[in-house]
Chains A and B, each alone.
Chain A
Amino acid sequence: MRYEAPDTIKAAVGLLSKAKGTSRILAGGTDLLVQMRSGMVEPDLVVNIKGIPGMRDIVADKGGYRIGAAVSGAELEEHGKVGQMWPGVVEATNLIGSTQIQGRATMVGNLCNASPAADSVPAMIAAGATARVVGPKRTRDVPVESIATAPGKTSLAKGEFVSSVFLPKPPARTGSAYLRFIPRTEMDIAVVAAGIAMTLNAKGVITAARVSLGAVAARALLVDACAEAIIGSTLDDAALDRLAAAASAAAKPITDKRGTVEFRTKVAGVLARRAAVIAYDRARG
């Protein structure tokens, strides 16, 4: 196994483009090292990107924040301002693993590991985040929901990696929230998850919303029907019922060791409803 720690994006892209066999990016390493130790993956090349300038930075940009690929969950939490702007995203990221894991785990790593149960991803999708993809041909900004395609699979081409995620400036009276269901209270992986962001007008009517569900399909879903269910409402009981029904209808889960189809379908609606209530309260301020 070859280990490289380049100090520019160009050098990293060069290494990845020329690599034969299996290559992996090391940022936080909280997925990669576990996969290597368990024998799930035996990379021929590991590229540590932590030393590339900017990878560990949170930068204010166009009223929002650009978060480098190697920024840890703990750093994101300590930043404070990102959490004030997008509480749902930061809370979701901070749910990953334990305190020790939070010192290493990154949001971009969570995105590129492409698990349908990744906690930060539905929250980022709801926030309308974009991922900056660098590669041998060009740099492109894409919606985060287009990165994962299936469990463990991404849309990234050979030589490409995600260098940062951008969280845009939210309109006034915007609130966000993320909830997941796990069988225990921590140190677990989402069985069902819901991320939600919404914007209200001065009268408390929802004018825009994005709802994303995790762990109920091969990748995190952006569910327009859920948004439509609550836009134009003041999140009254009827709107919440429509939201829950739309979430359950959109869920296409499987039965496995973590949960059943029936359970995930029902609880997708329950979590969407509960997350919406929190987001609405935050939007009202």
Chain B
Amino acid sequence: MPLDANTPDLRTEFKSVGTRPNRPDGVDKVTGRARFGADFSAPGQLVGLVLRSPHAHARIKSIDTSAAEALPGVKAVITYKDIPEQEGCDKDVLVNIMARGTALYDGHAVAAVAATDAAVARKALKLIKVDYKVLKHVTDVDEAMKPSAPVLHPGRFEPVDYNSLETASHVSGKQETKTKTREGSNIAGRYVFGHGDVDKGFKQADIIVEHEFKTEATHQGYIEPHACVASVSSDGMAELWVCTQGPFMVRDVCASLLGMDVSRLRVTPSEIGGGFGGKTTVFIEPVALALSRKAGKPVKVVMSRSEVFRCTGPTSSASMWVKIGAKKDGTFVAADAVLKYQGGAFPGSPVEMGAMCAFACYDLRNVRIVGYDVVTNRPKQAAYRAPGAPMSAFAVEGVIGEIADKLGIDAIDIRLKNAAKEGTVSSYGPTFGPVGLVETLEAAKAHKNYKVKLGKNQGRGVASGFWFNFAGNTCVSINLNVDGTLALALGTVDIGGSRASMCLMAAEELGIAYDDVRAIIADTSSLGYNDISEGSRVTFSSGLATIKAVRDLKKRMCGRAAKIWGIPEDAVKWENGAAHPAGANAGGFDPLSIKEIAAQASATGGPLAGHYEINAEGAGPSFATHVCDVEVDPETGAMKVLRYLVVQDAGKAIHPSYVEGQYQGGAVQGIGWVLNEEYFYGKDGTLQNAGFLDYRIPVCSDVPMIDTVIVEVPNPGHPYGVRGVGETSIVPPLACVANAVSSAIGVRARTLPMSPPKVLAAIEGVAASKA
């Protein structure tokens, strides 16, 4: 079998893969020894702090830094003038890291200082005088689309004929007569997907359900705030130690913003205390570099929790309309949706992905989705675990839940009837290969949780979800040590136990013990470019590259054995951790173990290493079905999640514990999104809950142990059948919990979060309407 075949030979029997060894980074993390972003220090480092706009929208008339600069201990003060616009840089990122003329959201960076200690730096911030002219602001997505809304970027986005928008015809009571605005609009983009003829489809329907839905912005809620140490030498060579999901991205973006050759900047990623997509862009990193460049000393910048909430990227808030038509037997005949996502002060909300995912679970003849990307006076959104998909699934799966109830069809059966499968033309275009939605639905239906009898004020919800999974650029090296152990160098930050998974795949491929492979995350000068750890791509892409790098190494080791035995290379095969003669004709040599080959490496040609680089494709989507039971206190609106089940297709679970961990983590984040998490803005457009006290992520006692079932429908695009698993798990929970609440108390929640005051008001509304 060729070692570098383009079509992977799908392995189905495993020794290491599928076991559950401890992760190599585990002990250091639980003992506090692991070094996170704020744990790096450089000799003589200064403390950097950022001055931020207290206004949601304001013109910056002037910035006077003279008093701050005169304060003893202050070594540098910078404004946008110290980061001049470079040709070819991303202007939105440039403006986001430091306001240029206009503060676009509460917390937008306006200036920064580097000083000998934090007390001096804090004092210096107070001495910077900024003269603001406060402008009208808008934070709500529907408000931002109105012609009367203040325009964030005058002249940038096309004026819109508001009467022609899908929103105008579908959303009652919101039409406005004014059709054009002189300054343009806040609508940064429009996306359309679908096929067939929805109008014709709806004519065949026995039942049509349509509703509007709204979700609030939520933050990834990673426990580790952004932190970095930047050191720029007088010769222009720079180093950056940083907590990020993408050190190569940080290097390239910072170099571009600061006008540096990429070779001059070396980025070393720290351990990461959570990212979930939020650490896939830059905020403080170029600011720290600019401060260090000006001060001539290393500068450490660590965000406060309040800064993390106000100034980094939460996900979008969304306003949506969904309409689905079905036959009496539950067959969907048409589906239509309008999605409006605000992505903060700059274009790029994940509405396009939200639109692509909305109906991806279903086999639909007639489907249309229109998505609008809208800018508002909020922080620029960043990716958050399956960006854009949980919101549209909330609306779509909610409507499906209502159709099932009205038709008296079981919630899983109606999904089975319409489920996408191999050969289905997806609602966003491509035709699916082998996918596992049907398998997840069948496993959910067979699970014991689906049979538990419910009590008073209790209800059960079901929802399915989809995520594409990404592949992308990956570059991996594996080095054989003198004693036969291995050092595996990866360029994708380990955000979910990937080092353990890579070691398992390397051990499997070599036929050696897991403990004989140690994986590290290399810095940006040690490997070729690696894409960010995002899109559930790491175990797939870096795993594929690891397997191929190991095959490269195996070939070289077989070559050395051939040399020792004096036989041709192709007469040697690798099995169970050793080189063997390929057959009886090759000669009667005893196998040479990896340790023996390593010991003789110097004598047989020098060090042994394997390497592989690829822009991978064929990631293979992952589908999931969730089932949850809730109990609602009808007197307070408080909700308790009693049971929660995640069934998801992993293709092949390399390390099942970490796959289950991804399932559980995504479910819990989704539950938080439904229950209490929200960006809460005051009338002045400033964020009112920039801390973990009033931005309520779930605590342990808020959720039950999340039950998991791993379904394995192998992905033909990976040698072991792997699919990414990190993101799909956050897609169904919003609708799953909402559907459970509906079944418990007859209240259909279409606005998130379903915080107790909202649930109680809804219960009383239902009671009043019955009275």
- A residues contacting B by CB (< 8 A) are 38-39, 181, 183-189, 191, 256-260, 262-263, 266-267, 270
When C-beta atoms are compared, the residue in chain B nearest to A263 turns out to be B757
Q: Once the chains bind, are A181 and B761 in contact (CB under 8 Å)? A: no
Per the bound structure, the CA–CA distance linking A270 and B633 in Å amounts to 11
Per the bound structure, the CA–CA distance linking A259 and B755 in Å amounts to 9
Min C-beta distance of B763 to chain A, whole Å: 10
Question: Chain B contacts of A185 at CB under 8 A?
Answer: 699, 701-702
Per the bound structure, the CA–CA distance linking A99 and B360 in Å amounts to 45
Q: With an 8 A cutoff between CB atoms, is B637 at the interface?
A: yes
Q: Once the chains bind, are A258 and B694 in contact (CB under 8 Å)? A: yes
Min C-beta distance of B306 to chain A, whole Å: 7
Q: Once the chains bind, are B699 and A183 in contact (CB under 8 Å)? A: no
Q: Which of A38, A256, A262, A270 contacts B635 (CB 8 A)?
A: A270
Given that A38-B306, A257-B688, A257-B689 are known contacts, is A184 also in contact with B757, CB under 8 Å in the complex? no
Q: Once the chains bind, are B755 and A183 in contact (CB under 8 Å)? A: yes
Given that A263-B760, A266-B760 are known contacts, is A184 also in contact with B696, CB under 8 Å in the complex? yes
When C-beta atoms are compared, the residue in chain A nearest to B698 turns out to be A184
Count of A-B residue pairs with CB < 8 Å: 54
- B residues contacting A by CB (< 8 A) are 122, 304, 306, 635-638, 675-676, 680, 688-689, 693-694, 696, 698-699, 701-702, 755-757, 760-761, 764
When C-beta atoms are compared, the residue in chain A nearest to B697 turns out to be A184
Q: Once the chains bind, are B680 and A183 in contact (CB under 8 Å)? A: no
Q: Once the chains bind, are A184 and B702 in contact (CB under 8 Å)? A: yes
Q: Once the chains bind, are A187 and B757 in contact (CB under 8 Å)? A: no
Given that A181-B756, A185-B699 are known contacts, is A270 also in contact with B761, CB under 8 Å in the complex? no
Min C-beta distance of A107 to chain B, whole Å: 20
Min C-beta distance of A44 to chain B, whole Å: 14
Q: Once the chains bind, are A183 and B756 in contact (CB under 8 Å)? A: yes
Q: Once the chains bind, are A263 and B699 in contact (CB under 8 Å)? A: no
Question: Chain A contacts of B702 at CB under 8 A?
Answer: 184-185
Min C-beta distance of A116 to chain B, whole Å: 15
Question: Chain A contacts of B638 at CB under 8 A?
Answer: 181, 183
Q: Which of A188, A189, A260 contacts B757 (CB 8 A)?
A: A260
| Residue in A183, A189, A258, A262 whose Cβ sees the most chain B Cβ within 10 Å | A183
Q: Which of B675, B694, B756 contacts A257 (CB 8 A)?
A: B694
Q: Once the chains bind, are A189 and B636 in contact (CB under 8 Å)? A: no
Q: Once the chains bind, are A263 and B756 in contact (CB under 8 Å)? A: yes
Per the bound structure, the CA–CA distance linking A263 and B763 in Å amounts to 12
Min C-beta distance of B600 to chain A, whole Å: 56
Min C-beta distance of A7 to chain B, whole Å: 29
When C-beta atoms are compared, the residue in chain A nearest to B757 turns out to be A263
Per the bound structure, the CA–CA distance linking A214 and B638 in Å amounts to 18
Q: Once the chains bind, are A183 and B693 in contact (CB under 8 Å)? A: no
Min C-beta distance of A218 to chain B, whole Å: 19
Per the bound structure, the CA–CA distance linking A256 and B755 in Å amounts to 13
Q: Once the chains bind, are B756 and A188 in contact (CB under 8 Å)? A: no
Min C-beta distance of A151 to chain B, whole Å: 15
Per the bound structure, the CA–CA distance linking A257 and B680 in Å amounts to 7
Q: Once the chains bind, are A183 and B701 in contact (CB under 8 Å)? A: no
Q: Once the chains bind, are B696 and A183 in contact (CB under 8 Å)? A: yes
Given that A184-B698, A262-B757 are known contacts, is A267 also in contact with B688, CB under 8 Å in the complex? no
Question: Chain A contacts of B755 at CB under 8 A?
Answer: 183
Q: Once the chains bind, are A189 and B693 in contact (CB under 8 Å)? A: yes
Question: Chain B contacts of A191 at CB under 8 A?
Answer: 756
